[in-house]
Amino acid sequence: MKLLIVGGVAGGASAAARARRLSEDAEIIVFERGPDVSFANCGLPYYVGGEIAERGKLLITTPERLRARFNLDVRTRSSVEAIDRSAKKIRVRDLASQREYEESYDKLILAPGAAPLRPPIHGIDLPGVFTLRNLHDVDLIKARVDRGVKQAVVVGAGFIGLELVENFVKRGIATTVVELQDQVLPPFDKEMTTPILQTLSQKEVTVLLGQSAESFEQDTDGLVVGLKSGQRLTAQLVILGVGVRPENKLAVNAGLDVGPRGGIRVNEFLQTSDRDIYAVGDAIEIKDFVSGDPTQVPLAGPANRQGRIAADNLFGRSIGYRGTQGTAIVGVFERTAAMTGASEKSLRRAGRPHRKVYIHPANHAGYYPGAEPMTLKILFDPATGRLLGAQAVGGAGVDKRIDVLAVAIQAGMTVFDLEEMELAYAPQYGSAKDPVNMAGFVAAGLLRGDHPQIDVETVLAAPIDQRPFLLDVRTPSEFSAGHIAGAVNVPVDDLRSRLNEIPSNREIAVYCQVGQRGYLATRILRQRGFSASNIGGGYKTFQLFQPPGT
């Protein structure tokens, strides 16, 4: 068996190591266009900021080590230019010597990755305008920051964009983020990003939403970024982080199938339309585990997993890739945002029935010092209760709850299963009723009919005179510190004795701070014949729909 692997970073390196473990006799050659293999892509922003101090830490392994340990023929600075599928060989250019040569294969794995998008913006090739993909890029960016940068503009408020923002701010750079959409972190539902906007605002980051860069010009102070709005931003450093596109040229030229967004098409065994050619990583189109639809998810975890699976299949093991849930996480200063499975907007786009609940718990028992708040949103099927997606934003413990919910989605569990989860509890780590249990209680209560809920945006979308009667069951001091316009205040502890103040001929939307007192109030009202629903997640959820600057 002669196996060629195009690309030596996440998916390619994983495939190569796995292939060697499966076969000592196979001839395995890895071609990597860049000078490095298997570097820590996800660490690059933190090297700019100095959190990762040594460049060497970013090199997970070296060509030399791969040769010594795995007996791999690793050829860096080697660009694969073409595939001759009928002859089963590839044409390689050695970038050092510019020499070209051919190499035959029995099996071929494509792991070329994805390249940062470079939209046709005037001035995009000016010095000082960067994208961030590899160690070469990060060296250039870091060198510029080290020379002294007063202002930076990051175009694109995705995961890497916001990680760079954080690290620029830590380097003392006044930073502006420009994002085309009306929210940061576009994979998330918009209201879940409100706490991130608040954090960015606290850190004096300027966030310009619904904006795009239209030009870059050189000026005496550095670069001038011209926005669609006409606004002009001065910066000595500009990062373009507006997404990636699959590196599919090799595949397309070889006549392999690609999807509408450019991802190389593969079957569940990660074979392309040519059964001797596999493809893995950011370059491929894969199945969304929840929706079953094709998608492209450029993430390191799935890429590594796919590399392993391609090698398994190549050696005859028949291991299917189950698709991706899009589990993702990002740290933005002290806050963490994470998600898994479907978002509300993706479900809406797909026309798939769904319900949602919000809760606003602390990461561990409130009586133990240092509890940090989070907001957790889960999405589920209204007929079966099956969990479809989850998003969380907050401090410590967000990663844990999203991981737990990722497993629940993988297992096809329902909100009723969340009620029963037996998670580790001591006061430093969680609560006797963990946030995941609480989300299950609220969602199951909704589905069982015990806990009718109305979404706050549904309430607010109605014309004022057609809104339900808004009942705020918090304390008078909470009420006076801020409430939804038009609400009437009857604290839950007084409700039983003040039922005469509640209209019996109208829909009632109850709310409290996080939903718990509202739930009890809803129970009281419904048992007394009122038509009441609880605003899920209460006033805190209402606030999510009021991002800063609105």
Q: Which of 22, 40, 42, 520 is catalytic?
A: 42
| x/- letters, 524..543, toward its own copies (CB under 8 A) | x--xx---------------
Tell me if residue 227 falls in helix, strand or coil.
strand
Kindly state the smallest distance separating residue 409's Cβ from its own copies, in Å: 9
Site for its own copies in 278-297 (CB under 8 A): 289
According to the binding rule CB under 8 A, does residue 420 interact with its own copies? yes
- Pick from 112, 222, 430, 468 the residue near its own copies by CB under 8 A: 430
Kindly state the smallest distance separating residue 47's Cβ from its own copies, in Å: 9
Q: How far apart are CA 219 and CA 235, in angstroms?
A: 9
Q: How far apart are CA 179 and CA 185, in angstroms?
A: 9
Kindly state the smallest distance separating residue 53's Cβ from its own copies, in Å: 8
Kindly state the smallest distance separating residue 157's Cβ from its own copies, in Å: 16
Q: How far apart are CA 473 and CA 484, in angstroms?
A: 12
Q: How far apart are CA 545 and CA 114, in angstroms?
A: 34
- Pick from 119, 255, 292, 301 the residue near its own copies by CB under 8 A: 301
Site for its own copies in 432-451 (CB under 8 A): 432-434, 437, 441, 450
- Pick from 402, 439, 446, 532 the residue near its own copies by CB under 8 A: 402
Kindly state the smallest distance separating residue 27's Cβ from its own copies, in Å: 14
Kindly state the smallest distance separating residue 203's Cβ from its own copies, in Å: 17
Burial zone of 171 (CB within 10 Å; 0-12 exposed, 13-18 middle, 19+ buried)? middle
Among residues 348 and 528, whose Cβ is nearest to its own copies? 528
Decide if 512 is catalytic.
no
Give the count of beta carbons closer than 10 Å to the beta carbon of residue 63.
19
Q: For the CA atoms of the chain, what is the radius of gyration? A: 27
According to the binding rule CB under 8 A, does residue 136 interact with its own copies? no
Closest by CA position to 64, among listed 56, 49, 74: 74
- Pick from 139, 403, 478, 507 the residue near its own copies by CB under 8 A: 403
Choose the binding region for its own copies from 114-122, 250-258, 375-383, 428-436 (rule: CB under 8 A).
428-436
According to the binding rule CB under 8 A, does residue 389 interact with its own copies? no
- Pick from 422, 466, 485, 505 the residue near its own copies by CB under 8 A: 422
Kindly state the smallest distance separating residue 143's Cβ from its own copies, in Å: 20
Owner of token pair 């590399």: 307
| x/- letters, 463..492, toward its own copies (CB under 8 A) | -----------------------------x
Site for its own copies in 311-370 (CB under 8 A): 322, 324-325, 327-331, 336, 338, 340, 365, 367-369
Kindly state the smallest distance separating residue 120's Cβ from its own copies, in Å: 31
CB-facing half-sphere around the CA of 501: CA atoms within 13 A:
15
According to the binding rule CB under 8 A, does residue 140 interact with its own copies? no
**E-assigned strand segments in 456-530:** 469-472, 488-489, 507-511
CB-facing half-sphere around the CA of 548: CA atoms within 13 A:
16
- Pick from 80, 213, 406, 470 the residue near its own copies by CB under 8 A: 406
How distant is the alpha carbon of residue 466 from its chain centre?
Answer: 37
Alpha helices (runs of H) in 296-423, residue ranges in sequence order: 300-314, 344-350, 398-410, 415-420
Task: Output phi, psi for 233, to 5 deg.
Answer: -115, 130
Give the count of beta carbons closer than 10 Å to the beta carbon of residue 369.
9
Among residues 57 and 150, whose Cβ is nearest to its own copies? 57
Long-range contacts of 97-100 (CB under 8 A, 24+ apart): none
Q: Are 411 and 418 in contact (CB under 8 A)?
A: no
Alpha helices (runs of H) in 326-396, residue ranges in sequence order: 344-350
Tell me if residue 269 falls in helix, strand or coil.
coil
According to the binding rule CB under 8 A, does residue 496 interact with its own copies? yes
Among residues 254 and 398, whose Cβ is nearest to its own copies? 398
Among residues 102 and 493, whose Cβ is nearest to its own copies? 493
- Pick from 1, 40, 82, 488 the residue near its own copies by CB under 8 A: 40
Alpha helices (runs of H) in 203-298, residue ranges in sequence order: 249-253
Among residues 73 and 214, whose Cβ is nearest to its own copies? 73
Q: How far apart are CA 186 and CA 197, in angstroms?
A: 13
According to the binding rule CB under 8 A, does residue 428 interact with its own copies? yes
| 212: its two tokens | 């795009």
Q: Which helix (H) or strand (E) holds 137?
A: helix 135-147
- Pick from 69, 118, 261, 498 the residue near its own copies by CB under 8 A: 69
Among residues 124 and 407, whose Cβ is nearest to its own copies? 407
Active site residues: 42
